[in-house]
Amino acid sequence: MSTLINITPLNGTLARDVRHPLEPLSAEEVRAAVDLLKREGKVTPTTRFVSVALQEPEKSLVHQPDGDTVPPREARVVLFDNAANACYEASLSITGGTLLSWKHVPGVQPTMTIDEQVECEQAVLNSPEFKAKLKEHTGVDDTSLVMVDIWSAGNYGEPEDSTRRLARPLCFLRADPTDNGYVRPIEGLRPVVDLNTMTVVRIEDHGRWPLPPGEGNYAAGRMDRSRTDITPLEIAQPEGPSFAVDGYQVSWQKWKFVIGFNAREGLTLHHLRYNDDGRERSVLYRGSLTEMVVPYGDPGPTQRRKNAFDVGEYGMGMCANSLVLGCDCLGLIRYFDAHLCDSRGEPFTIKNAVCMHEEDYGILWKHTDRRLPDAPEVRRSRRLVVSSVSTVENYEYGFFWYLYQDGTIQFEVKLTGVLSLAAYHPGVTPTHGSLVAPQLYAPNHQHFFNMRLDFDLDGVNNTVHRVDVVPDPIDDANPFENAFHARAIPLTSEKRARGNLSLETARTWKIINPGVLNHVGEPVGYRFLPGDNSVPFASPNAWWRRRAGFVESHVWVTPYQTDERFGAGDYPNQSRGGDGLKAWTEADRPVENSDVVFWYTFGHTHIPRPEDYPVMPSAYIGFTLKPAGFFSRNPANDVPPSPKKGGMSCCH
């Protein structure tokens, strides 16, 4: 779809041309949404804008043929009034300039805004009680070198957890203004901050720990020496890239898709299609990270409350970096900006929030016929990379979508940044983590990610199969006892679809369209191949697990519903739990031969090492989608050979 629509925002200026109905909001559209709500009297001096994002149109309007009417642009807005301690949701038409709906959502705490993070730090630093405790614990009475990281308060069944908007920051002391403050945690002090009033409710004092004695700087300017044996590595595309960009719509090789972005989820992928011999075929309608939780495994008084829902509590898009050529991305790069607004409704742009480029990825396929040894056939693989990186206080998360020439889709998270560190008493060996430096401790923890994959495989009516590899019975039909086969079970209802990985059966999942048959008479399909994974080690009764029901199964399947978007529910911040996937699937709705959504939870268990300090080398985790009967043959068979140096082809 490349139909162009012009949108005139409410402030009278002309917005950029929108080339696809799933493109994210422009800066002008964000401004128009904010202005409309102000004119409608929905914004008070104590109102914060939590998010302003595209309200996506109905699928039928997106799947319509080119040239048909493009749907009007609408926005979905979440607001919070600090004075009333109340959350509101608004839906509005940017094209029509009208407020479509307004509702109060009682008893919830939406995502903490970037502004609140900054204001929370200042509230702690300005607190007389904190200054007194700082002097008592460290001997320092100047807060100019104190670093305060906002941490969500969670919910542990206490009345204040459900009645106040709270944060429980972690505090650190820098040695100088450019020091890595995380290496000197002020372990015994835990401020509790009311974010509605921006006041320190109390300072929880758990005793004194000496500040760790070492240094842990990682910046290039603070290194004693750097390697001198690295020569330049250049990537050149003298004829330009192989992709084309039209707004936020991308065409690359035989792929076509739309890049999305919003304050909560960050990078999203939309309307992914593959051109199969001139026929544009739908594969994935929407792919997004819906939630992630980082639970820590130390029961000590200063660590036991540490867990973070980085999407629902912090906003992965709000934490996105402006990416830098040659550092975050290498090669011939195309960047995409993200247009958001601060908590007071002022639009701002994260420049280069999304990076796109091509990479060589080794051998795509090869065969050498021994009878023709001088004429091997080999093709090099090229992949398209679409990525974004977010910093959530100490941790960095890189989100990478990869598209391949053979129809493969891959998603990968790269985890890096600085460990959440704690001080430890001299001469004591930790049980629930690792010493990474003298008196400096990194607790064991896990990272669980939940992905929402809305397949529209050659149409909206799809079925998910669970595929297990099982041995054949030992009988007369299996005389050498070597036989095994793949057993596919259709998942007909939500409860039946709940499932976990199984190494014993090499378990995968297959998404098919039973109404579209391939050239051998079987339903077209894509296979879901899980990567590394884990299970939660905390008790099912742990407070964080009550709020993160999506970790109870690796795979979930639900019928498509526009209001079921986040694995832990719309508002996990300070919730008591029970929302999201676990609640929805209790209805046990049918999910066969219908518009279904495939949800995947994958976890990384981190037992820290000294080599993860002072900054952590990237860890990788994700999944892969491979065509399985979707095409009639290897769709990358037509990739031309690469030229050898000297002008000769690689296949001669």
Distance CA 175, CA 164 (A): 34
638 carries an active-site annotation: no
Please, what's the largest Cα pairwise distance for the chain?
84
Residues 6+ apart with CB under 8 A from 14: 6, 7, 8, 28
**Comparing C-alpha atoms, which of 485, 484, 486 is closest to residue 467?**
486
**Comparing C-alpha atoms, which of 440, 299, 353, 507 is closest to residue 24?**
353
Distance CA 290, CA 449 (A): 8
Residues 6+ apart with CB under 8 A from 543: 154, 155, 156, 157, 577
Q: Name residue 584's amino acid.
A: W
DSSP codes joined into one string, 369-431: -TTSTT--EEEEEEEEEEEEEEEETTEEEEEEEEEETTS-EEEEEEEEE----EE--TT---S
Q: Name residue 220's amino acid.
A: A
Beta pairing partners, 605: 446
Q: Which two tokens stand for residue 113?
A: 């805004």
Beta pairing partners, 46: none
User: How many other β-carbons are positioned within 10 Å of the β-carbon of residue 381?
Assistant: 17
The one catalytic residue among 182, 274, 395, 613: 395
395 carries an active-site annotation: yes
User: How many other β-carbons are positioned within 10 Å of the β-carbon of residue 368?
Assistant: 12
Q: Which two tokens stand for residue 437?
A: 């430096």
Distance CA 485, CA 498 (A): 23
By residue count, the chain amounts to: 652
The one catalytic residue among 179, 310, 454, 458: 310
| H runs (alpha helix) in 109-234 | 114-125, 128-138, 159-163
Distance CA 59, CA 23 (A): 14
User: Among all residues, which ones are annotated catalytic?
Assistant: 310, 395
